[in-house]
Chains A and B, each alone.
Chain A
Amino acid sequence: DAGITQSPRHKVTETGTPVTLRCHQTENHRYMYWYRQDPGHGLRLIHYSYGVKDTDKGEVSDGYSVSRSKTEDFLLTLESATSSQTSVYFCAISDLDRGNQPQHFGDGTRLSIL
């Protein structure tokens, strides 16, 4: 299994509070991604990173920010959480530098905004 750890695994918080989700990898892969999974939508890309301090927006980036200060960690922040951000969040990594490699996913974080 790819060494990807997401924390926390579960979180319940209130509307308007800041939330940070962490993705930690031990594979030294350059590419990292944050997705959210909602019923009827599959997984949708929030933000991605192609190196330390190199990040960009995905399909559903509004209300989210990310940071990557070192290769192994990719943080997703909800500055002021809203109920619409209740979802399951997945981090993924990819070793694209070795060619057409698949993304490997963490176990997910279930986030509930009340």
Chain B
Amino acid sequence: AQKITQTQPGMFVQEKEAVTLDCTYDTSDQSYGLFWYKQPSSGEMIFLIYQGSYDEQNATEGRYSLNFQKARKSANLVISASQLGDSAMYFCAMRENAGGTSYGKLTFGQGTILTVHP
């Protein structure tokens, strides 16, 4: 079974609008972490935002926020006021046993390609 599911292969958004990229996960661990990375066409992987399973508040980093719904096992990325430079592939990833001996290994989803239109 997929541990990380990103159901949107591609998304389109108008510049300056907000967009939500979906991510659902599957784990039996109580302690885990969720990450979002951005991969522009140049290929590098850029860390955007992190949410711990015990964090009570949704994580925010500038224009990025993570809509964390633990009971639904979803960790959607919200990008506000989209910019042309936001066009990229976005990956959701999970680190299980965050407080134990997972060695920090990440499981990635398949990614969502976001295109921002002017």
Contacts and interface: CB of A to CB of B under 8 A. Distances in A.
Interface of A: 31, 33, 35, 40-45, 48, 50, 56, 58-59, 88, 90, 92, 94, 96, 100-105, 107-108
B108 A105 contact: no
B35 interface: yes
Contact of A48 (B37, B44, B103, B110): B103
B23 to A, nearest CB: 11
Interface stretch (B12-20, B45-53, B72-80): B45-53
Contacts, number: 59
Interface in B93-110: 93, 95, 98, 103-110
Given A31-B103, A44-B108, A45-B106, A102 B91 contact: no
Contacts of A94: 104
B32 to A, nearest CB: 10
A96 B106 CA distance: 12
B47 A102 contact: yes
Chain A facing B: main interface SS:
strand
B64 to A, nearest CB: 13
B106 A103 contact: yes
A107 B47 contact: no
A102 B104 CA distance: 9
Contacts of B103: 31, 48, 50, 56, 96
A33 B102 CA distance: 13
